Amino acid sequence: MLLEGQNFSITLDEILDNTNNAIIAVNPQGMIIYANRAVFSILKIPAKNIVGESITTYFPETGLMRVFETGIAELGQRLTMNDTILLSNRTPIYVHGELVGAVAVFQDITVLQNVLDNLVIEHEKTKQLQRTLEVVLNTAYDGLIVVNKQGIVTMTNQAFSSFFNKTPEDLIGKPITEVYDNPKFTDVLVTAQPVYGYIHDLNGHEIIASRIPIVQDGKIVGALGKVVFKDVNELYAMTKKIDSLRSELDYYKKTMVQSNSSALDLLKGRNLVMSNLVQTTLRVAKSGSTVLLRGESGTGKELFALLLHAQSSRREGPFIKVNCAAVPDNLLESEMFGYDEGAFTGARKGGKIGKFELADGGTLFLDEIGDMEMSMQAKLLRVIQEREVERLGSNKSRKVDFRLVAATNRDLEGMIRDKQFREDLYYRLNVVTLTIPPLRERMDDLEVIIKTFIKKFNLQFAQSVTGISPEAKDVLMKHRWPGNIRELENIIERAFNILEGTEIQLKHLPNYLQVLANHDIRPYVEGSLETILNGVEKNALIIALETANGNKVQAAKSLGLSRAGLYKKLIKHQLHNP
């Protein structure tokens, strides 16, 4: 066809070559008889090079030849070639009623298909989000209901619909006024002001509710009603529980203050060495330096640790105590570092925070540091140096800031020589060393300490003990106190459990002390040396067990014996109870 104008003419081939759609025509034998220039965008071959070739050479899966079989056009057929998505219309060519060829017009819909695919993906995400929202709504404890601007219920959950013995599906789509009378929460559609915590009657239930407007683009499009408490009595019960927790917190705060006060009282006295040590401790408390407390078992090392914490700038932070000897070696690492969920078999769901993290901002007290295994000593050293920890099962480092106070009754220097304690850790701990004297070297403080314990146990037992008899006091002054202050505390507490009056008397003391009433401090003066030594050994075993409240491990440690060694001596002196 030739289009003529005044100054120009355009042929049909030129028109077809300038279309965006590719066009191919074939004869009944499948030979390509025409192809326009847009075919190049599909095949990357010039159109003139494919004319005269078989259609199946370039379009192996073409359905164009079916048109010759059916004589019917095929529209909107999808085809993919060279990562291009095509939409093809196949049409028969009739001349004078005779089928002489077929033409295919291809439209590149790759971009459109990608848009559609993205829409499908977003639609699936939306559906998934909707399903998730439905699950959240129906598992929520609070009753929730949403209406649109016209007051039609568009969303609710089981917790709300159960007030009417209905399912959410029963309510959705209904006007809220058909669900129940006087729905106060829809007032926000007019007022636009949220109201929280008002009392409302919901189908015979006195509830605590909130109403909140739903705003989009500055316009109110709906309202949310939320049942905060299903019954007013729930609120009363929670208020009561909160009051109880507040009382409990006040009690613990008061106990902590009393503990700190008692700690300072126990450290006061006339003894010059002890007084100077307390003054030094108060000065050291102001700094953040690491402190190593040394002394025999029961001398009050924990009291000094509490004093260091209470008088420091970290007093408002936590005081975390870890007894390195009491925690099994295989558990100490998880106890100190904590762990993430799934870190090991039996790990608590949600993981656990370790002592290093718990002590952040406060004081970490490592008691009996000399009993820590070498492998754990290396890990402790790293934490002290880098001030960061990694929980077991985690590769995330967490910064920690605590003041370290360590305590021991062991000869660390000797342990270093025996390769039982790391020398580098020793120097990290030994920044400030405070050596606490045993009770036998500060007997001038004995009376003050007894009064402090009497004051403490009067509060604990709700009694009014006024003091101790001269005979009992004389016996306590004779005793050598291998268990130090801890032994004295146990003796006074024992007396409180059995006394009937207001004075601690000789009869209220343990048997091993009562024998001192009629003897001087050298009770064994007759017999052979072996007999005397056996008697002294037996008495020492009795005292150690009494001091440790029957704990054989602690008794062995105070005597410098192994557990097996202690058992042998107990059997020897017929003190062993199978």
pLDDT tens per residue, range 245-279: 777 666 665 655 555 555 566 677 788 998 899 99
Q: Which of the four pLDDT bands, split at 50, 70 and 90, describes residue 403?
A: very high
Cβ pair 110, 118 in contact under 8 A: no
Sequence-ordered list of residues with C-beta below 8 angstroms from that of 80, at least 6 positions apart, any chain: 86
CA dihedral sign, ordered 468, 469, 472, 475: positive
Residue 25, classed as helix, strand or coil, is strand
Enumerate domains of the chain plus CATH numbers: 2-108 (3.30.450.20), 140-230 (3.30.450.20), 268-437 (3.40.50.300), 470-572 (no CATH)
Q: What is the pLDDT of residue 404?
A: 94
Sheet with 74-81, edge to edge strand ranges: 32-35, 22-26, 98-108, 84-95, 74-81
Question: Phi/psi class of residue 336: alpha, beta or left (left: φ > 0; alpha: ψ in -120 to 50)?
Answer: alpha
pLDDT tens-digit profile of 366-378?
A: 999 999 999 899 9
pTM: 0.52
Length of the chain: 578
**Residue listed under structure tokens 């260091």:** 308
Query: Out of 199-208, 316-325, 402-411, which region has the weakest mean confidence (pLDDT)?
Result: 199-208
Question: Phi/psi class of residue 175: alpha, beta or left (left: φ > 0; alpha: ψ in -120 to 50)?
Answer: beta
CA distance from start to end of the chain: 120
pLDDT tens-digit profile of 502-545?
A: 999 988 988 878 876 765 544 444 567 677 777 778 877 887 78
The span from the CA of 197 to the CA of 142, in Å, is 13
Query: Does 402 score more than 90 pLDDT?
Result: yes
- Token pair of 434, please? 């405070």
The span from the CA of 13 to the CA of 37, in Å, is 9
Q: What is the pLDDT of residue 241?
A: 79
Cβ pair 438, 398 in contact under 8 A: no
Helix ranges (DSSP H) in 446-528: 446-461, 470-478, 484-498, 511-514
The span from the CA of 155 to the CA of 352, in Å, is 39
Question: Average per-residue pLDDT in the chain?
Answer: 83
Share of residues in the chain with pLDDT > 90 (%):
26
CA 140 to chain CA centroid, Å, is 23
pLDDT tens-digit profile of 165-213?
A: 888 888 889 888 888 877 777 788 888 888 887 888 887 778 888 888 8
The span from the CA of 334 to the CA of 347, in Å, is 10
pLDDT, greater one: 526 or 553: 553
pLDDT tens-digit profile of 31-57?
A: 999 999 888 888 888 888 888 889 888
Q: Can you tell me the mean pLDDT for 432-461? A: 91
C-alpha atoms less than 13 angstroms from C-alpha of 94 in its C-beta half-sphere: 8
> Helix 470-478 crosses helix 446-461 at what angle (to 10 degrees)?
120
Q: Which of the four pLDDT bands, split at 50, 70 and 90, describes residue 422?
A: very high
- Token pair of 151, please? 């007051």
Residue 397, classed as helix, strand or coil, is strand
- Token pair of 227, please? 């049942």
Q: What is the DSSP string of 222-280?
A: EEEEEEEESSHHHHHHHHHHHHHHHHHHHHHHHHHHHHHHHHHHHH-SS-HHHHHHHHH
